[in-house]
Amino acid sequence: MYRRYLDGEQDAADLLVEKYGDPLTLYINGYLKDMHEAEDLMIEAFSQIFAKERPITGEGAFQAYLYKTARNLALRHRKKHRLRFLRFEELDFEPQSHMLADTELYRSERSRQLYAALEKLKAEYREALYLVYFEDMSYRNAAAVMNQSEGQITKLVYRGKQSLKAILEQEGFTYADE
């Protein structure tokens, strides 16, 4: 879609904002804890990318570039306003409407436990896990967002998962297959 935008198709820009706007706003809100400011920075991130019109190639490269731009904007804003980092329980994840009520309740409780445990992780583990699992980024693209090497992201994700498992087990979390 970004290539189509660069080729002069204005509708492609709208499609990009439609596809990435809400998830990016939630990501930024994790830094800021202010949805209105997050929306403003989301718009600013898209504006910067559309204004520069740099050729971005590769699988997931646009998403990584967009998130890196937004992350830098959020870090500058946070530094300016001295805010804390991502709090997962404040992100709004709703179950699909076609699920049964009991299943929704079960999943909701499991999600609450997961997000509470994620909140206890080191910020770098939490961010790496968020980008890889919640935003479905490749390790390479997550590395670009976090200004790390791909190897460092691999270690952060591995250590993050190990730490998360230990926290969940300490809190008596049971796995579905047990």
- pLDDT for 149 equals 93
User: Which H helix or E strand runs over 78?
Assistant: helix 61-81
Beta carbons of 99 and 93 less than 8 angstroms apart? no
Beta carbons of 35 and 29 less than 8 angstroms apart? yes
Beta carbons of 66 and 1 less than 8 angstroms apart? no
pTM, whole model, 2 decimals?
0.61
pLDDT digits (tens, 9 = 90+) for 41-84: 999 998 888 888 777 777 778 888 899 999 999 888 877 776 44
pLDDT digits (tens, 9 = 90+) for 6-35: 778 888 888 988 999 999 998 888 888 788
The DSSP output letter for 152 is H
Taking Cα atoms as reference points, which of 119, 123, 125, 112 lies closest to residue 161? 125
Three-class SS state of 26: helix
pLDDT > 70: percent of the chain: 79
CA angle 154/26/159 to nearest 5° reads 20
- pLDDT for 44 equals 93
The CA distance from 120 to 148, in Å, is: 22
Q: What length is written for the chain? A: 178
pLDDT digits (tens, 9 = 90+) for 87-124: 554 444 444 444 444 455 555 666 677 777 888 888 88
